[in-house]
């Protein structure tokens, strides 16, 4: 067996073939906040959908400035939620049904702003409301300027959230949008998907457990 074939099978796919749909029946709710790293979130959606997961996307107003809802709608095959009060086929002004069916909520990029809102229990827009009403595990993929990431207030907020069971994909170091090199760069899509997979597979999909 060639090394290339071994690597392909180790990643759960046939050589030159489709990705194994090992995440079928799982539901992920992705919250996209404002940051240039939002482009990586599009790759995360693509990888999860290819593996069979259902992905719903909610975006903050700032997040929509970096990547359009149409991009995520195309990749997920689902309507993207952007407004706390937008009309639904069934009246759900807070969109809380999105959290009820999600096996995992992923926030990527998770900005200092949304981390602060979560730590303070604030819910003043769609994404922060969904996170406060979360009915399952939450995974944050922080992304921000190095000085913001190292700010003691941000670190205190992260510790507080961790005490309440929120999990994190640690940011890496590298070239940042502010044209400096340092920590705060959002983890790569492959790393995020690997942690999402590990968390999902700890329990059966909600839709099958009902």
**Non-local CB neighbours of 150 within 8 Å, separated by 6+ positions:** 183
Q: How far apart are CA 71 and CA 176, in angstroms?
A: 23
| List 19, 36, 132, 178, catalytic entry | 178
Q: How far apart are CA 131 and CA 106, in angstroms?
A: 10
pLDDT at 64 over 60: yes
Three-state DSSP class for residue 97? helix
pTM for this entry: 0.86
Q: How far apart are CA 31 and CA 131, in angstroms?
A: 9
33 is catalytic: no
pLDDT, one tens digit per residue, over 106-151 is: 999 999 999 999 999 999 999 999 999 998 899 999 999 889 999 9
pLDDT at 203 over 90: yes
Helix (H) or strand (E) holding 44, with range, is: helix 38-50
Rg of the chain, C-alpha, whole Å: 17
Q: Which CATH class is domain 20-209?
A: alpha beta
Q: How many CB atoms lie within 10 A of CB 90?
A: 5
Share of the chain above pLDDT 90, in %: 70
What is the residue-averaged pLDDT of the chain?
86
């Amino acid at each position: 067996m060639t090394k290339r074939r071994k690597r392909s099978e180790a990643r759960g796919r046939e050589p030159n073939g489709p990705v194994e749909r090992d995440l079928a029946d799982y539901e992920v709710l992705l919250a996209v906040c404002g940051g240039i790293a939002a482009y990586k979130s599009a790759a995360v959606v693509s990888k999860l959908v290819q593996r069979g997961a259902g992905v719903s996307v909610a975006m903050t107003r700032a997040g929509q400035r970096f990547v359009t809802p149409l991009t995520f709608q195309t990749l997920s095959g689902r309507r993207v939620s952007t407004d706390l009060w937008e009309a639904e086929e069934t009246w759900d002004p807070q969109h809380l049904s999105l959290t009820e069916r999600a096996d995992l909520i992923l926030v990527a990029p998770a900005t200092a702003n949304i981390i602060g809102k979560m730590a303070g229990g604030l819910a003043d827009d769609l994404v922060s409301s969904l996170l406060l009403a979360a009915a399952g595990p939450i995974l944050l993929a922080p992304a921000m300027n190095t000085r913001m990431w190292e700010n003691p207030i941000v670190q205190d907020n992260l510790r507080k959230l961790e005490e309440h069971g929120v999990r994190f994909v640690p940011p890496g170091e590298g070239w940042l949008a502010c044209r400096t090199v340092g920590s705060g760069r959002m983890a790569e899509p492959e790393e995020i998907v690997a942690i999402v997979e590990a968390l999902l597979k700890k329990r059966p999909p909600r839709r099958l457990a009902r």
